[in-house]
Amino acid sequence: MKRLNLSVPKHLSVRGILLPISLWIILLSSFLLLVPSSVLELLRLDALVQEFTPYIALMLLGSVAYLGVLAVNFVLDEAIHYLRGKRIEEQVEEKVKLLDPAERALLREFFIQGASVLSLPQDDLVVQGLLQNHILACVGNEKHYAIQGPTADYKISVHARKCLNRRVLRLPMGEMSQDELQQLMKSRPAFVANLSQVRKHAA
């Protein structure tokens, strides 16, 4: 026999309950206050509306005020989100201009490996610096290795993606020569080889 589930859904919120209730109150109150008296007489609601008009009007005003507060909060949230995004964009643009060789080498790995997501050491100072400056974004998948330490998956953030190109990362334009390829390989971060060895041991 199937048990009756009486638990309250986790996603249920006060706003999720009050918003539809407020909308229904506005609709019903407006109908009762604005509809012609002949219609109310036909529905046999004229005496009831006449007796409770002050309360109906009060409920209407309260519901409209609640929706007004929600609208103001929504506008403020959107404005804060926009301003925060602009601030992050400015921070990213400034940081991209000041990338050091180690940071460029790490970011080049996304281009060299042709991957949108890379597994990087969480404790690495370069990774932490790029993360704090919103150049990198962590997407999870944390792993802990006894030898190498914790790693996680990272991607280039949306804000940084439009600022990074081959010129900024000092990648050769067009097909690379053998010397350029060797120089590029020498400049790769040390942890790239370490992570490969760790994965081989883990496998």
**Distance in Å from the first CA to the final CA of the chain:** 47
pLDDT in tens, 14-30: 677 888 888 999 998 88
So what's the pLDDT on residue 10? 53
Count other C-beta atoms under 10 Å from residue 184's C-beta: 17
pLDDT in tens, 58-99: 999 999 999 999 999 999 999 999 999 999 999 999 999 999
Q: Give, for all 203 residues of the chain, the pLDDT tens digit.
A: 445 454 445 555 667 788 888 899 999 888 888 888 887 778 788 788 788 888 888 999 999 999 999 999 999 999 999 999 999 999 999 999 999 999 999 999 898 888 899 999 998 899 999 999 999 999 988 887 655 678 899 999 999 998 998 889 888 777 777 777 777 788 788 777 665 554 444 44
Token pair of 68 as six digits: 């007004």
Taking each helix axis as running N to C, give the angle between helix 46-97 and helix 14-34, from 0 to 180 degrees, rounded to the nearest 10. 140
Residue with tokens 């602009």: 86
E strand or H helix that includes residue 156:
strand 149-156
Residue 69, classified by CB atoms within 10 Å of its CB into exposed (0-12), middle (13-18) or buried (19+), is exposed
So what's the pLDDT on residue 30? 87
